[in-house]
């Protein structure tokens, strides 16, 4: 059983990743922290409470709010992809009884900030805690700035972010999570900790089509199935109009799968650098993935996934 802290900015694909994590027998989620990204911090934190309520985790013990702004750059979001509420415009949906269809859990956020919770959890489980970062890395960088010696007791960081051989999804050269806060990403990659990366290069290999989703959910009336159906329509419409297929890439579930089923992936050691200042390349992740051996590796970059097997195990897990 792997002990995990998830840092997230929910987000439709974050929501699907959180459901996957809590339903995975291979891991135990010890804490969740929220950060600005797909939506602002308050919206992300509200969305986390909706997801916890879906999972009947109404007394989940450790949740904390983190950074509302990137370290240096102005705040941006991805509401055009995820909907105004970040969850595919589901927050205002009502039942036939006139009640909110997706209510929030009555969990209480910690009085500690996310960076303090991250350090506290590492201190509680030294060399055992794994951090899964699904959004910009601002909270992690703040924890590093506060106590790098403690942070280096983390077992590893698994993150969704970056792009190396494909076009980015926010600019030509950059992936959204790194682009939002490249200075934070730079700090994390230079912190001297084990890092596993799911970049767009591998997440783009998994196309969850509308037809596949409909097939998986047909005949199911449970609340999680309803939420998945309701929340994904907006993002699939965005993809239809901007990417060319009715579906979406289920980015944030990949780091969870890397933990659960590493046998589904191929990876390479690399030395990853982040461009923080480039006028045209801010947020670009740079690494030579061709080298068979890298003496100064600071990350393991995942480059290939068995997409069919991943989707099969993903749906088997979340719909169990």
Whether residue 300 has pLDDT greater than 90: yes
| Cβ proximity of 182 and 274 under 8 Å | yes
The residues, ordered by sequence, that sit 6+ positions from 151 with a Cβ below 8 Å of its Cβ are 118, 119, 122, 140, 143, 144, 191, 193
Whether residue 228 has pLDDT greater than 70: yes
Instruction: State the average pLDDT over residues 217-223.
Output: 93
- pLDDT, tens digit, 9 for 90 and up, residues 230-273: 999 999 999 999 999 999 999 999 999 999 999 999 999 999 99
Distance CA 251, CA 17 (A): 8
CA-wise closest residue to 204 among 247, 246, 161, 250? 250
- pLDDT, tens digit, 9 for 90 and up, residues 126-183: 999 999 999 999 999 999 999 999 999 999 999 999 999 999 999 999 999 999 999 9
* Structure letter (DSSP) for residue 209: E
Instruction: State the average pLDDT over residues 303-312.
Output: 98
Q: Calculate the alpha carbon distances from 186 to 178, 240, 303 in Å.
A: 9, 33, 21
| Cβ proximity of 275 and 263 under 8 Å | no
Instruction: For the domain covering 2-318, report its CATH number.
Output: 3.90.245.10
Instruction: State the average pLDDT over residues 209-223.
Output: 95
Instruction: State the average pLDDT over residues 17-46.
Output: 97
Tokens 């409909």: give the residue: 214
Identify whether 251 is a catalytic site residue: yes
Q: What's the whole-number average pLDDT of the chain?
A: 95
Q: Is 219 exposed, middle or buried (0-12, 13-18, 19+ CB in 10 A)?
A: exposed
| Cβ proximity of 306 and 258 under 8 Å | no
Q: Calculate the alpha carbon distances from 309 to 2, 24, 261, 305 in Å.
A: 22, 16, 10, 9
Distance CA 190, CA 180 (A): 18
Instruction: State the average pLDDT over residues 34-55.
Output: 97
CA-wise closest residue to 112 among 101, 128, 104, 123? 123
Whether residue 98 has pLDDT greater than 90: no
Whether residue 54 has pLDDT greater than 70: yes
What's residue 292's pLDDT? 67
From the list 82, 183, 196, 251, the catalytic residue is: 251
CA quadruple 226, 228, 229, 233: dihedral positive or negative?
positive
Counting residues of the chain whose pLDDT is more than 90, the rounded percentage is 91
Higher pLDDT, 5 or 99: 5
What's residue 180's pLDDT? 98
- Give the helix ranges, DSSP H, for the chain: 12-23, 41-54, 79-82, 114-124, 138-146, 148-151, 176-180, 182-189, 200-203, 210-217, 223-242, 253-260, 307-318
Whether residue 120 has pLDDT greater than 80: yes
Question: Taking the domains of the chain in order of start, what are their residue ranges?
Answer: 2-318
DSSP annotation string for 139-163:
HHHHHHHH-HHHHTTSSEEEEE---
What's residue 262's pLDDT? 97
């Amino acid at each position: 059983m792997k002990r995990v802290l998830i840092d997230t900015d929910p987000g439709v694909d974050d929501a699907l990743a959180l459901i996957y994590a809590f339903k995975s027998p291979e891991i135990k989620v010890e804490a969740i922290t929220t950060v600005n990204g797909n939506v602002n911090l308050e919206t992300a934190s509200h969305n986390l409470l909706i997801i916890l309520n879906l999972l009947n985790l109404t007394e989940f013990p450790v949740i904390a709010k983190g950074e509302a702004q990137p370290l240096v750059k102005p705040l941006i979001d991805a509401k055009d992809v995820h909907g105004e509420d970040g969850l595919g415009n589901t927050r205002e949906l009502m039942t036939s009884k006139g009640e909110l269809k997706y209510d929030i859990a009555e969990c209480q956020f910690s009085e500690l900030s996310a960076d303090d919770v991250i350090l506290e959890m590492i201190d509680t489980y030294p060399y055992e805690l794994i951090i899964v970062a699904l959004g910009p890395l601002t909270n992690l960088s703040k924890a590093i700035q506060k106590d790098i010696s403690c942070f280096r007791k983390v077992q590893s960081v698994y993150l969704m972010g970056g792009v190396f051989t494909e076009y980015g999804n926010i600019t030509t050269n950059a992936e959204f999570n790194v682009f939002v806060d490249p200075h934070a990403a730079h700090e994390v990659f230079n912190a001297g900790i084990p890092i596993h990366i799911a970049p767009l290069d591998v997440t783009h290999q998994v196309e969850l089509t509308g037809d596949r989703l409909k097939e998986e959910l047909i005949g199911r009336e449970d609340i999680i199935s309803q939420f998945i159906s309701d929340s994904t329509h907006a993002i699939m419409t965005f993809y239809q109009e901007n990417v060319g297929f009715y579906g979406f890439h289920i980015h944030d579930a990949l780091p969870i799968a890397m933990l659960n089923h590493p046998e589904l992936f191929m990876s390479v050691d690399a030395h990853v650098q982040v461009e923080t200042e480039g006028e045209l390349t801010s947020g670009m992740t740079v690494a030579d993935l061709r080298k068979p051996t890298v003496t100064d590796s600071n990350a393991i970059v995942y480059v290939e996934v068995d997409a069919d097997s991943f989707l099969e195990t993903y749906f088997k897990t979340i719909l169990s």
